Structure 1
Amino acid sequence: MAAQAGRFACVLGAAACLMTASLSSASAAERHKAPAAKKQAASAAAAPRKTASSRAVAHKPVAAARVSRSFVAGRTSAPARIAYVPARQSYGQIAGLHEAFDPLSLKSSVAYVIDQDTNEVLLSKNDSAVLPIASITKLMTGTLISEAKLPMDEMITITQDDVDTEKGSSSRLVVGATLSRGEMLHLALMSSENRAAHALGRTYPGGLATFVTLMNAKARQLGMNDTHYVEPTGLSSRNQSSARDLATLVGSAYQDPLLRELTTSPNYTVDIGRRTLQYNNTNRLVSNPAWDIGVQKTGFINEAGQCLVMQAKIAGRKLIMVFLDSAGRLSRVADAERVRRWVESSSAAAAMMAAKPNNG
């Protein structure tokens, strides 16, 4: 274990030598059009000095992720602080987190599996690394909307303010589309609809700034001290958290019947004017009869990689699973499947041992 921990520390040391630079925000289309030389020049011109506080950096356009030196069994109180260059690689890839060993050969650089009832940690891999969480953000957005007890039949109209200018993502909810708050919440949690999530925050009493403030206040209330939000969709890489914090959020969301219902809904249809739009769940496992999922949320942006959080019942145990920075479009689902088979086989082996006669 000491050799593995030393190897991981070396990886982090190498990652710390990376440029602490950041490109200014631009749409995906603009970044594709810019020549490579122009992007390199812009990155060099925008390179900031490394700040002494990763917490302070999280409030600035240049996002810095704190990567723990801990390796599965150990934790330190002084995590490494690394600033990253936004690129096709995720923050975890740049930091070398994928080099960490785990017994299941998961594709996620961060994984955390705990028993919901006993808090027993079954699997831990880079669990205190603080990374972008993409649309896992919407689980907190849904938590606030549900707790506020706002009228779910109140109509909300998509405006230009809800259009993504950071990533240039598309949406079938055109400007002018009107749905009820309940429908917006359903689409945000089930199919990760960004404009719906933004509209929910924008129309919250007090406006978007108040909503984001309350997101962070709720995180503090839950003890999510590694977590920081800047907007309600997850499109910003400055929405960051750790696997341990997200497990706490999943456990809290599971207590809300509305969040359980909407996040595990397989599909949903809405009428917008003369159009009928069919939406599907972004997590294919909710339709898999082999799974008993209580609450879930997926997420993806380049900086975060593929992400998945779930509460599920496996081998008679209620488990909370967090997978962050998974490489490959289907790898987060494959990692969840690996964990399920591992837990089931371990439980079967334990049952056999318990049933074995004691000849001593």
Structure 2
Amino acid sequence: MQARNRISTRFLHALAFVALSVSLAAPVAHAAEKKKAVVSKKQAVSSNTKRQVAKSSAKPAARKTVAVAKGKSLRAKAAAGKSTRLAARGTKATVRKVSYTPAPQSFGQIAGLHDVHDPLSLESSVALVVDQDTHEVLLSKNEGAVLPIASLTKLMTGLLISEAHLNMDEAITITQDDVDTEKFSRSRLAVGTTLSRGELLHLALMSSENRAAHALGRTYPGGLAAFVNQMNAKARQIGMLSTRYVEPTGLSSSNQASARDLAQLVAVASRDPLLRELSTSPSHEVEVGSRTLQFNNTNRLVKNPSWDIGLQKTGFINEAGRCLVMQAEVSGRKLIMVFLDSAGKFSRIADAERVRNWVEQRGSTAGARSDKHVYAHADNS
């Protein structure tokens, strides 16, 4: 019995020990589980963070890729738009080219004067070459046709100013009245510019300055109207019976004359030393305020050493075509040359060269009335 009790006591002690061991082991196991859970959570957080970082770092790359793709798309659209605009612009240019209107015809072209034949095949529809001393006509083409004469008008303007013996040192100021309202041509002489009468005359004859010529007429004794009346009176006095002037520059197409009349004017004007000097001057400088302006002769032949030119004047408006009058010595003869309504920019100069070469080749007896059939035809025009 005592032995049984001892076994029971030991059994109870064993159970108590097991229970105590279990109770002591539970917190340790719980702590281990808790620690394991924390580690797992940290690992999860770390993995999540890495995914976030990877995701966030992937976003800019993705955005960059999208932006690049978008940029390419925009550039493609811009290029396509540019091509469309260029194509449209090209279409407009083509339309403008098709709808381009040529310059208006000259009076000579309208009258058919360019269809008249001459022995030198001149580009000018009107021509006259006369020996100044013998009055022998060497060449003529439509010499009686009355046409606008453009700035050849300024030769009469210069003749009247010279013969009036006005003070050439008198200061004249360009005003608004001198501005071209006929053709709206440009001028380097601004309103307010003050030059001497002599300088204005020089520029009018040499470089065909319109405001200079108008100012000369405006300041003539009695004013512009009196000056125009005097221009027409002088024309009748020297035998220019088909001539009419309405203003002193030649911008108006109503200033008209025949080649025959202009030959008379050249003959008279060439006897004036001042007009000879100023019209054949290659260039001239004038002081305008603080600036120095250089003006050049409108006739490039005055700089050509092979030409001996005593007097010259050029002219151009659309209605008149390219015009040129000269007094020049060729083969020992003083010739008066008149070319009106020339078609091209340099063709009047080329016509003068043709005439000179022709006269030099034929000698001093060259072709007096050699084109009589042309002359007779021109008289009927």
Structure-1 residue corresponding to 2:210: 194
1:292 to 302, 308, 311: 308
Cα distance in structure 2, aligned partners of 1:223 and 1:105: 29
Q: Does 1:328 align with 2:323?
A: no
TM-score normalised according to structure 2 size: 0.69
Give the counterpart letter for 2:245 in structure 1.
Y
Structure 1 pair 349/235, CA: closer, same or farther in 2 (3 Å)?
Answer: closer
Question: 2:230 aligns to what?
Answer: 214
For the residues of structure 2 that align with 1:208 and 1:142, how far apart are their CA atoms? 14
Cα distance between partner residues in 2 of 1:88 and 1:151: 41
Query: Which residue identity is paired with 2:293?
Result: L
Among 142, 154, 158, the residue aligned to 2:170: 154
CA distance in 1, matches of 2:286, 2:197: 12
Partner-residue secondary structure (3-state), 1:153: coil
Q: CA deviation at 1:135?
A: 0.1
Secondary structure class of the residue paired with 1:268: strand
Q: Could you tell me which amino acid in structure 2 is paired with residue 209 of structure 1?
A: A
Check 1:201–1:102 CA distance in 2 against 1; reply closer, same or farther (3 A cut): same
> Match for residue 243 of structure 1?
259
For 2:147, give the aligned amino acid.
Answer: L
Give, in whole Å, the separation in 1 of the partners of 2:130 and 2:166: 33
Equivalent position SS for 2:233: helix
Q: Give the CA deviation at 1:229.
A: 0.1
Structure 2 residue corresponding to 1:279, chosen from 295, 304, 308 = 295
Structure 1 consecutive aligned stretches of length 4 or more whose deviation exceeds 4 Å: none
Q: Which amino acid aligns with 2:220?
A: Y
Q: Letter of the 1:331 partner, please give it.
A: S
SS at 1:171's partner residue?
coil
User: What secondary structure is seen at the aligned counterpart in 1 of 2:313?
Assistant: strand
Q: Is residue 136 of structure 1 aligned with residue 152 of structure 2? A: yes
Aligned length: 267
Post-superposition offset of 1:348:
7.6
Q: What is the correspondence of 1:156-171 to structure 2 with a 5 Å cutoff?
A: 156-171=172-187
- 1:117 aligns with one of 133, 144, 157: 133
How far does the alpha carbon of each residue in 1:175-231 deviate from its partner, in whole angstroms, 9 at most, with x for none? 000000000000000000000000000000100000000000000000100000000
* Percent sequence identity over aligned pairs: 77
* 1:312 equivalent in structure 2: 328
What is the CA distance between 1:88 and its match in structure 2? 1.3
* TM-aligned CA distance change 1:170 to 1:101, over 3 Å: same
For residue 92 of structure 1, what is the aligned residue in structure 2?
Answer: 108
Structure 2 residue aligned with 1:69:
none
Provide Cα deviations, 1:213-268, integer angstroms capped at 9, x if missing partner: 00000000001000000000000000000000000000000110000000000000
List aligned pairs for 1:221-240, cutoff 5 A. Answer: 221-240=237-256
Q: Which residue of the partner structure matches residue 63 of structure 2? A: none
Q: Does 1:269 align with 2:285?
A: yes
Taking a change above 3 Å as real, the CA distance of residues 150 and 100 of structure 1, as seen in their structure-2 partners, is same
Q: Which amino acid aligns with 1:104?
A: L
What corresponds to 2:271 in structure 1?
255
Gaps of 5+ in 1: 1-34, 36-86, 351-360
The change in CA–CA distance for 1:144 and 1:349 in structure 2 (over 3 A counts) is closer
Note the C-alpha offset of 1:122.
Answer: 0.3
Structure 2 gap ranges (5+): 1-95, 97-102, 367-381
Once residues 107 and 291 of structure 2 are traced to their aligned partners in structure 1, the CA distance between those partners, rounded to angstroms, is 40
Mapped partners of 1:119, 1:315: distance in 2:
16
TM-score by length of 1: 0.73
The residue type paired with residue 303 of structure 1 is E
Amino acid at match of 1:276: T
Q: 1:314 and 1:178 mapped to 2: Cα distance?
A: 40
In structure 2, what is the Cα distance between the partners aligned to 1:151 and 1:332?
35
- Higher helix fraction: Structure 1 or Structure 2? 2
Higher relative contact order at CA 8 Å, sep ≥6: structure 1 or structure 2? 2
Give the letter for the 1:246 counterpart: L
Aligned to 2:121: 105
Cα distance in 2 between the residues matched to 1:216 and 1:278: 33
> CA separation in 1, counterparts of 2:269 and 2:127?
19
Q: Residues 280 and 310 of structure 2 are in contact (CA less than 8 Å); yes or no, is this contact kept in structure 1?
A: yes
Q: Is the 8 A contact 2:333 2:364 kept in 1?
A: no
1:27 aligns to what? none
Larger radius of gyration: 2
Aligned residue for 1:9?
Answer: none
Secondary structure of 2:145's match?
Answer: coil
Q: Distance in 2 between matches of 1:233 and 1:323?
A: 19
CA distance in 2, matches of 1:164, 1:128: 30
Cα distance in 2 for residues equivalent to 1:348 and 1:116: 13
Q: Which amino acid aligns with 1:228?
A: R
CA shift at 1:94, angstroms? 0.7
* Matched residue, 1:32: none
